[in-house]
Amino acid sequence: VPEILEVEAARQVLEARALHRPIDSVFTPDTWFLKRGTTAEALRDALDGRQFVAARRRGKLMLVDVDDGGVLGLHLGMSGRVVVDGDAAGDPLVYASNRPEAAWHRFGLAFVDSGQFFLRDPRRLGGVELEPDESRLGPDALSLTRAQLDRALAARRAPVKAVLMDQARIAGLGNLLADEALWRAGIDPARPAVAVDANERAALHRAIRSTLRTLGRRGGSHTGDLPRSLDEPCPRDGAALRRTKVGGRTTYWCPAHQR
């Protein structure tokens, strides 16, 4: 499942391969994939004859700037990958197939130079929209400051893990990254966010940064040190891990050192 690290890899593919190439035509075989009132006709109007000039990202939302000032928003959902001229990035392919099924191409573009961009999404939970609302997203997890983390957690009675995954509070962390960061910080995922004290917030901020840096280098959000299996002990202290639901999501954690 793409989390911020996979979306950042997809953004880099767009930045390296899809900018400054005039667009010849827009491919919208799946109107269900067009979100928030975006229509196939509006996409053609917005993109035909234009070119992309920048590929940005906020959390898990990709934002592609068009040369006339428009913005195309791309969501990878649970299994989406960006494919430009056959170069792909996005879903880590641990759980989904990467067969080049044309039926999984939910949206695409042909460039005048005959190259192609596709959004490939077997599970069809991603989407495309024009002029996405960036203001509904919190600060980006990859550049999260200590003060932003403090603000995100302040006065929240919800479990700290649920707050970390709330895209309006912090944009980009999903289930795997949140579990890994809380495990590294030694914080019980079910504790109310408001009860996490200043020293623990400092540890959590360091843990989020180390999680993103280390797992980014290793190749994605599925490469954490916290096992996602009850057959393996906690790598830090050898205790038996627990699996519970926190904020509706399956959560692995260590009762010996996460408090």
**Residues lying near Zn ion in the complex (CB under 5 A):** 234, 236-237, 239, 254, 256-257
Of these residues, 124, 146, 151, 249, which one is catalytic? Answer: 249
Q: 70 or 233: whose CB is closer to Zn ion?
A: 233
Active-site annotation holds for 134: no
Measured between alpha carbons, how far is residue 259 from residues 131, 136, 230, 240, 246 in Å?
Answer: 42, 31, 19, 15, 15
Active-site annotation holds for 92: no
Considering the complex, what minimum distance in angstroms separates the CB of residue 186 from Zn ion? Answer: 8
Name the H helices within 112-226: 146-153, 160-165, 175-185, 198-218
Pairing state of beta strands 127-130 and 71-75? antiparallel
Among 16, 8, 2, 1, which residue's Cα sits nearest to residue 143?
Answer: 8
Considering the complex, what minimum distance in angstroms separates the CB of residue 203 from Zn ion? Answer: 14
Is the four-CA dihedral 167, 198, 156, 253 of positive or negative sign?
positive
**C-alpha to C-alpha distance for 23 and 44, rounded to whole angstroms:** 10
Q: Residue 51 CA to chain centroid, in angstroms?
A: 25
Considering the complex, what minimum distance in angstroms separates the CB of residue 255 from Zn ion? Answer: 8
Q: 197 or 237: whose CB is closer to Zn ion?
A: 237
The DSSP symbol for 102 reads: G
Q: 44 or 236: whose CB is closer to Zn ion?
A: 236
Cβ(161)–Cβ(178) under 8 Å?
Answer: yes
Considering the complex, what minimum distance in angstroms separates the CB of residue 232 from Zn ion? Answer: 12
Active-site annotation holds for 2: yes
Considering the complex, what minimum distance in angstroms separates the CB of residue 244 from Zn ion? Answer: 15
**Tokens representing 192?**
């109310």
Of these residues, 17, 60, 169, 184, which one is catalytic? Answer: 60
What are the catalytic residues? 2-3, 60, 249
